[in-house]
Structure 1
Amino acid sequence: MDANQYVKDKQIVIFELDDVLFPEKDYLLQVYYLFAQFIEYTEQKSAQPILGFMRSEYENNGAEKLFEKTANQFGIDPKYKYNFDLLHQNARLTLKLLLYKNMLEFMQELIVDRKQIVIVTAGNPEQQLNKIKQTEWNGLEQYLTVYFVDELGQSKAEIFQNILNSSNLSANEALVVGANKIDEQQSKLINLPYIVSLEIYK
């Protein structure tokens, strides 16, 4: 569907990061690769089967308890949980994160039309900032304003409302682009128009 119809009467568009602007797995799989390489270097355990296990487990069951499952499978010392968690926050990626093509084009159109772009992202603030720093924004970075939900200690609905207040905008002048029920519920709490990011790809 033509994205322009969503924003013709909007002044500001609010995005989440993960699975909205880029696939979260593009970040996590690189973190797992770096961790497997780290274990190979420190413990002389082959990285390839470790990475293969982590990838399969993540794709089938998600990221929860992935270190514990991997440690149990390969006899990895629990002390390396610290390194695993730290890599999530400060990993230097081999490949930059790439925006979904249609989302990149959508954001570029927003800039041309002089719309404000805001990112409101949940999750560990250091990890989310690390993702932002290692994303190929194609020049969009200078137009972004970012709010970290966990750092502010507010709900998304409260942050959305504060953004509207600071910009002197009504709810119908903004749009939230998300990828999950939480984003949708938080938007509805203050009557903010909401669309699933996948809608923009149609």
Structure 2
Amino acid sequence: MLKYKDLDSRKKAFVFELDDVLYPERDYLLQVYYLFSNFIEFTEGFPQATDLTEFFKKAYLHHGDEAIFDRVKEAFGINEKYRDNFDRLYHTARLPLKLLLFSNMLTLLQEIVVDRKEIFIVTNGKPEIQINKIMQTEWNGLENYLKVYYAREINQKPEPDVLSYILKEHNLLRQDLFIIGATETDKEFAASGGVDYLNISEFM
């Protein structure tokens, strides 16, 4: 398992994806499902929130988040009119619990800050959703040291445009950066930009 001391000390900045790199995305999604389940029970009286939440959880674990409303709609007869409510929660949900960073990543970020290196978050997600997540994450004081870029506002990863923007904006060279990600897209993003890459699994 890699630690900060194992990394190239000549690097000046680190680029992270948000979801499943700094925190587990399932922690956000499961709370959205919980809130929607309680909304449905309060509005319709059926199904019970606990049953609906449990179905959401199992569906997510087996199939992921894609088309999950359709699975719930089919299983419980949820009215199509509630799709907008479900989608709105994705963007604006006020979570019951703060999102917590992976403990190893919290330590890594803290050590980067102590060493006076720069931290960039470059995320492919929809900006309004990612902002909502970031605002409800427990950063332990690190929020003052983060610079966030939403790739969709420039060009989505793996295209390297946002990377080129960061390099120019912060007067950095490609060899100054490390990219830490979790997906093949992150790996391709690093390769297309000519930047060293590490998978999150190296730190876990």
Band the TM-score falls in, shorter-chain normalisation: over 0.9
Task: Determine the C-alpha separation between the residues in 2 that align with 1:74 and 1:38.
Answer: 14
Counterpart in the other structure of 1:18: 19
Q: Which amino acid aligns with 1:31?
A: V
Q: 1:154 to 1:19 in 2, by over 3 A?
A: closer
Q: How does 1:44-59 map to 2 (within 5 A)?
A: 44-45=45-46, 46-59=48-61
Counterpart in the other structure of 2:199: 196
Q: What do residues 147-169 of structure 1 show as CA deviations (whole Å, max 9, x unaligned)?
A: 11123345451111111122222
Task: Determine the C-alpha separation between the residues in 2 that align with 1:195 and 1:169.
Answer: 19
Q: Which amino acid aligns with 1:32?
A: Y
State TM-score, norm by structure 1: 0.96
How far the C-alpha of 1:171 sits from its partner, in A, is 1.1
Counterpart in the other structure of 1:157: 160
How far the C-alpha of 1:124 sits from its partner, in A, is 1.4
Task: Determine the C-alpha separation between the residues in 2 that align with 1:160 and 1:185.
Answer: 12
Counterpart in the other structure of 1:96: 98
1:176 and 2:191 correspond: no
* Partners of 2:22 and 2:101 within 8 A in 1: yes
Task: Determine the C-alpha separation between the residues in 1 that align with 2:187 and 2:9.
Answer: 21
Counterpart in the other structure of 1:124: 126
Identity of aligned residues (%): 45
Aligned residues: 201
* Partners of 1:157 and 1:186 within 8 A in 2: yes
Q: How does 1:69-80 map to 2 (within 5 A)?
A: 69-80=71-82
State TM-score, norm by structure 2: 0.95
* Partners of 1:3 and 1:200 within 8 A in 2: no
Task: Determine the C-alpha separation between the residues in 2 that align with 1:81 and 1:52.
Answer: 19
* Partners of 1:89 and 1:130 within 8 A in 2: yes
Task: Determine the C-alpha separation between the residues in 2 that align with 1:136 and 1:85.
Answer: 24
Task: Determine the C-alpha separation between the residues in 2 that align with 1:165 and 1:149.
Answer: 15
Q: What do residues 14-58 of structure 1 show as CA deviations (whole Å, max 9, x unaligned)?
A: 000000000000000000000000000111011111111110000
SS at match of 1:51: helix
